[in-house]
Structure 1
């Protein structure tokens, strides 16, 4: 980008970030109290923001998508590190305040900041194509938000999200793990997920009762298959609906009968007596593909 107004200022790396007093002042100015309904826990520690932004490994030319910016703690750090930030905030009161906060703490940076007042689960278009996702996601919708954004924005090549610690473990889990399940496999459809750290409780206001986890991801091409994403995900959902069942039993409803499930599994070179937690996403894609001729 040749326009200097769209390039982050290198000197901004030392610019102040929001602390506890700033967060409480901003919240009080608009009459906001964090709500459990929207999963609002605001980061009040600048070092934590620096850690998150550093771990995201952003290129200065990137457009970053942030979901749930809240009062702007992470937003300011992202503005310092990227060419543009597009923030999606569901709360209209917080959304109205954020541009003025950006102008107060990063004068002139509003040209590189776009605010969308919408539910992230309903966003399918943005004014700028994001290349990275960096967000402190509400615990209650973290996995659906990540999967929705990866589905609808193929321009997202990598990112780092903060979620409930046990959710971070699930997203990054591999086949054979006790916590490997639907989120693990569906996330693997889009790329590789890795646990990137743990965040304590006292850096938030209000402090949650559990730790948060950082998950980094790199997009990769989905498995080569004639099956669609929807077809593969239907197999994944069926396989994990009752974890203790063998795949022959778990997929009997999806296939039409146990015998048909066994036939399709063998066609896909998968042991019918195995359970879903031992299969990688490629195996689920083979199972979904095995059924396609029957539907043609």
Structure 2
């Protein structure tokens, strides 16, 4: 593309190894906390694998959530136009540009650090150029809310790859009818197609977490309906609040009565005896549309 920044060569910049990660943590007095979900990747092969699986293009602007000490950041910079790193820890946010200058000085101008909470960050906070891809090692405790928030807030995000707890990866990528299919699966499907993109062993992190991780790839798609997203999500929440009940019973409170819920379900072409775990996002959208029309 004319005028677009071209990716640097694959050898640009040096990645962080275990000794580098511990040295930086000691220098900054950083003790990883469970509250912030901090587990730092210290294996260069893992970050290379993540970047390769993300299938980034040279014109992509990547938003990275929780860059930490910079392991993944350094692997991202050579293959994209820019990285917008959102870091809630002020100490880590301040140190990251210097780390990039030390390890990849020719790529330092591609980095922009935003010291903010990813759950509250806005498109205006991230500035221009707008992010087109999400690649991140997400804190376990906020992974799903962060993904949903960024997909809602940043419509220019077209694709991405996130590393999350293995159980969360299963939920995000689950299909209707599976044991792990639930609210995260349905709401994420409003924005994108998601799939598992491989496992990540716990040994590549410091400190070593008690669980394994997994990669989830996402590709943006158009919402399945023109009805307001919040109205569809209200149906989803009601259906899974009482997961074991039929939709006729589970949606009674949302609709006003079980009889009313059955009328809406039939109008939407959904069996009142079905359960929420059997429905796709398009089915929930039809229910919301039927309720709106009636």
Shared topology, TM-score over 0.5?
Answer: yes
Q: In the TM superposition, what whole-angstrom CA distance separates every residue of 1:147-187 from its partner, at most 9, and x where no partner exists?
A: 00000101000000000001101110011111100000001
Q: In the TM superposition, what whole-angstrom CA distance separates every residue of 1:76-122 from its partner, at most 9, and x where no partner exists?
A: 00001111000000000100100100100010322111000000011
- How far residue 124 of structure 1 moved from its aligned partner, in angstroms, is 1.2
1:142 aligned onto 2:143: yes
- Give the Cα–Cα distance (whole angstroms) in 2 for the partners of residues 224 and 288 of structure 1: 10
- Aligned equivalent of 1:27: 25
Pairs within 5 Å for 1:93-112: 93-112=91-110
Contact map agreement 2:78 2:107 (CA 8 A) in 1: no
- How far residue 3 of structure 1 moved from its aligned partner, in angstroms, is 6.1
- Aligned equivalent of 2:188: 187
- Give the Cα–Cα distance (whole angstroms) in 2 for the partners of residues 33 and 196 of structure 1: 30
Q: In the TM superposition, what whole-angstrom CA distance separates every residue of 1:213-255 from its partner, at most 9, and x where no partner exists?
A: 1000000001133x20000000000000011010001000000
- Aligned equivalent of 1:239: 239
- Aligned equivalent of 1:61: 59
- Aligned equivalent of 2:11: 12
**What is the root-mean-square deviation of aligned Cα atoms in Å?**
1.2
Contact map agreement 2:195 2:218 (CA 8 A) in 1: yes
The count of residues paired between Structure 1 and Structure 2 equals: 291
SS state at 1:245 partner: coil
- Give the Cα–Cα distance (whole angstroms) in 2 for the partners of residues 291 and 271 of structure 1: 15
SS state at 1:120 partner: coil
Please, which runs of 5 or more residues in structure 1 have no aligned partner?
Answer: none
Q: TM-score, normalising length from structure 1?
A: 0.96
SS state at 2:99 partner: helix
- Aligned equivalent of 1:92: 90
- How far residue 10 of structure 1 moved from its aligned partner, in angstroms, is 1.2
Q: In the TM superposition, what whole-angstrom CA distance separates every residue of 1:6-51 from its partner, at most 9, and x where no partner exists?
A: 43321435x4210010001111111111111000000000000000
- Aligned equivalent of 1:285: 285
SS state at 1:216 partner: strand
- Aligned equivalent of 1:274: 274
- How far residue 291 of structure 1 moved from its aligned partner, in angstroms, is 1.1
Contact map agreement 2:14 2:104 (CA 8 A) in 1: no
After superposition, the Cα gap between the structure-2 partners of 1:11 and 1:280, relative to the gap in structure 1 and judged at 3 Å, is: closer
1:164 aligned onto 2:165: yes
- Aligned equivalent of 2:198: 197
- Aligned equivalent of 1:265: 265
- Aligned equivalent of 1:219: 220
SS state at 1:262 partner: helix
- Aligned equivalent of 1:253: 253
After superposition, the Cα gap between the structure-2 partners of 1:11 and 1:55, relative to the gap in structure 1 and judged at 3 Å, is: closer
- Give the Cα–Cα distance (whole angstroms) in 1 for the partners of residues 210 and 30 of structure 2: 21
Please, which runs of 5 or more residues in structure 2 have no aligned partner?
Answer: none
Q: TM-score, normalising length from structure 2?
A: 0.96
- Give the Cα–Cα distance (whole angstroms) in 2 for the partners of residues 3 and 29 of structure 1: 40
